[in-house]
Amino acid sequence: MTDATDPLTREWQGPTPRDMLVAKVKGHTGLLIGVGIVGLLTFVAILAPVLAPHDPYAQSLMTRMEPPVFLGGTWEHPLGTDHLGRDYLSRLIYGARVSLLIGAVAALISGLIGTAMGVAAGYFGGKVDMVVTFLINVRLAMPVVLVALAVVAILGGSLTVVICVLGLLLWDRFAVVMRASTLQVSRRDYVAAARSIGASTPRIVLTEIMPNIFNNLIVVITLEMAHAILLEAALSFLGLGVQPPTPSWGLMVSEGKNMMLFEPWLVLIPGAVLFLLVLAINLMGDGLRDVTAPENRS
């Protein structure tokens, strides 16, 4: 903030903060792997209609459970077919859409709710803080999976319901982290300075506080995204999430479960992809924390 006006640093000829950030990112293998995989899967999800070799809904009961190519199948169905003869690779590709969509939107909804509550609590303190802390405690006392199961069971499972339920349930970590960060930042001198020149509360929050807690927000978003994806898979596995024939990885695991003893790949393939995506998102979150954390900044 003050760097530009300080003659000492202006004359210092070294890498700019941006250069340093880029160098740090390049040196962080975990982050690169995470971003790479997430990027690739996002790309696949967006281009699903182009990339999928078959219609993921096209049923062919006469060619059920054909093995993938590495287990003696044919290139017609590189990853084999499922219990209704639908192409496994195509379903996997379309399933990426469901997983990423649910992960992103649920994280966004809960991010909005949690950040608003956390920042308000941290900035205003007092009664607002008490109320928010109480709400966070109430929320933390509820087991997410159980509540999600109950709500979905009552409302019936569908993509929209799952997204809303997860979005409305996963805001607790946002609220906790944002509250703590805001509390810290709002005591800084530049906030006091902004306040003393008469800046309005929205202006202070948006231009002084938010930019300085944004790195924390990014990290929580990635973590919650992974969390939401896993929860969707769990709900779909239990038959309460995304409903067939929509392809979802959790649903694919559940559909393959009965044949696990004889055709383990039916469970292994979607399981492995799910594992990979969640791992990648977590690596990305970890990496982002490492490269943006203030203690590593200078």
Residues at the contact surface with other proteins, assessed by CB under 8 A: 57, 59, 61-62, 64-65, 83-85, 156-158, 239, 243-245, 255, 257-262
Enter the DSSP assignment of 69: G
Closer to other proteins by Cβ: residue 38 or 267: 267
Report how many helices (DSSP H) and strands (DSSP E) the chain contains, helices first.
14, 0
Min dist CB 113 to other proteins, Å, is 28
Min dist CB 190 to other proteins, Å, is 54
- Tell me: cis bond preceding 245? Omega within 30 of 0 counts: yes
CB contact at 8 A, 66 and 196: no
Min dist CB 81 to other proteins, Å, is 12
251 CB-near residues (< 8 Å, 6+ apart): 95, 236, 237, 241, 242, 244
Closer to other proteins by Cβ: residue 125 or 239: 239
- List b or e across 218-241, with b for residues whose CB sees 16 or more CB atoms inside 10 angstroms: bbbbbbbbbbbbbbbbbbbbbbbb
Min dist CB 88 to other proteins, Å, is 15
Min dist CB 143 to other proteins, Å, is 22
Closer to other proteins by Cβ: residue 58 or 272: 58
Biggest CA-to-CA distance, the chain: 77
Closer to other proteins by Cβ: residue 186 or 254: 254
257 CB-near residues (< 8 Å, 6+ apart): 237, 267
Closer to other proteins by Cβ: residue 65 or 180: 65
277 CB-near residues (< 8 Å, 6+ apart): 37, 38, 41, 96, 99, 100, 226, 229
Closer to other proteins by Cβ: residue 8 or 261: 261
Min dist CB 256 to other proteins, Å, is 11
